[in-house]
């Protein structure tokens, strides 16, 4: 299966998502937040740096919960269109 390349807007949205999550993580370590969210540190690192610009919904929910960020706040911080 061939994957359609992401648009520039999709890449920018992924980078913004990563920045918002990184900011919400604050001084907490990646190891601590990844463990609480039930994902690997490498996955968290890739999301925070925008290398995974379209993470799975449940991964985003788990990360938002782990950093104490309401989904509505996340939605407002990351443009969807």
Q: For residue 37, what are the domain limits?
A: 8-68
- Residue 29 inside a domain? The answer is yes
Residues 44, 30 contacting (CB under 8 angstroms): yes
Number of domains the chain is built from: 1
The Cβ of residue 34 has, within 10 Å, a number of other Cβ atoms equal to 21
CA 75, distance to chain mean position in Å, is: 12
| Beta-carbon contacts of residue 41 (< 8 Å; ≥ 6 apart) | 30, 31, 34
The per-residue pLDDT for range 28-78, each reduced to its tens digit, is: 999 999 999 999 999 999 999 988 888 999 999 999 999 999 999 888 888
The per-residue pLDDT for range 13-36, each reduced to its tens digit, is: 999 999 999 999 999 999 999 999
Which pTM value belongs to this model?
0.87
- Residue 60 inside a domain? The answer is yes
CATH of the domain at 48: 1.10.260.40
């Amino acid at each position: 299966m061939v994957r359609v390349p992401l648009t520039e807007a999709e890449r920018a949205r992924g980078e913004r998502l990563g920045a918002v999550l990184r900011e919400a993580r604050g001084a907490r370590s990646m190891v601590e937040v990844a463990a609480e969210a039930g994902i690997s540190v490498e996955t968290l690192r890739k999301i925070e740096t925008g290398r995974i610009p379209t993470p799975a919904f449940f991964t985003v929910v788990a990360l938002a919960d782990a950093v104490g960020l309401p989904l509505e706040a996340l939605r407002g911080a990351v443009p969807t269109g």
